[in-house]
Amino acid sequence: PSYTPWPMIRLRLEDSGNQWLDMDSKAAGLGLATVAVATAAALDKSVDRSVKEHQQNKLVKNWGKLGKDLPIATAALSGLAFALGDDRLSNTGLIALESGAVAIAGSEMLKFAVNRARPGDDNAPWRSQPAGQSRWQSSFTSNHSAVLFATVTPFAKEYDQPWLYGVAALGAAGRIASRDHWLSDVTAGGILGYAVGNWLWQSQRDNSRYQSNLVVTPKQVGVQLNVPIQ
């Protein structure tokens, strides 16, 4: 039989929109985020200079590789949780995947608007990219940092595991270690990812409203969907 995912998608969109409208802390959160990014921006030069001095260190190189690969791993694990977990884990995995997608979209919009150049030999933090380079590839903000915190936050919230934020922070800092981003890029990306992950988790955590899981048996592959009648 045919399967139409629209009823579940519509319900999740409605819940997310209602949660956004009901959140009274948006202005305060934006203010705190601005202060955090401004503080990080003041340290951009000194942090990048320190990283540059240790660029050939094996530990720093491996840290940079971790920062590049860890977001892919967290996204993949979120997909596995969605596909193979129980109802609670599957729902959390789906929220994490949604959060990662929304965080990337938000980060890309900021990249296009800011058009910031990545760290270079001149150590000038707020110069624009040279002409001809894509604005979508600019430095502010870090997609990797945004995805890390977006995919980790729903699990940290749902299962009360705050140590996961430390894992995300360690991976995000790897983007500084590889000199692919400034400190403020990573800070802004992390805040964006956390905000999106927390928002979507708050709005969609009630799994009783919609349950979906991938069904894989020797004879069939499909999606099971239960939507309560209201």
Looking at residue 211, its pLDDT comes to 59
Q: Which residue segment(s) compose the domain that 162 sits in? A: 6-226
- Total domains present in the chain: 1
Least confident of 87-96, 122-131, 167-176, 216-225: 216-225
Beta-carbon neighbour count of residue 143 at 10 Å?
24
What region, left, alpha or beta, does residue 123 occupy, with left being phi > 0 and alpha being psi -120 to 50 degrees?
A: left
Better-predicted residue by pLDDT, 112 or 212 = 112
pLDDT tens for residues 141-190? 999 999 999 999 999 999 999 999 999 999 999 999 999 999 999 999 99
18 in a domain, yes or no?
yes
- Does residue 1 lie in a domain region? no
Is residue 130 in some structural domain?
yes
**CATH number of the domain that residue 158 is part of:** 1.20.144
pLDDT in tens, 58-104: 999 999 999 999 999 999 999 999 999 999 999 999 999 999 999 99
Q: At what angle do helices 87-114 and 143-158 cross, to 10 degrees?
A: 150
Question: Does residue 145 belong to any structural domain of this protein?
Answer: yes
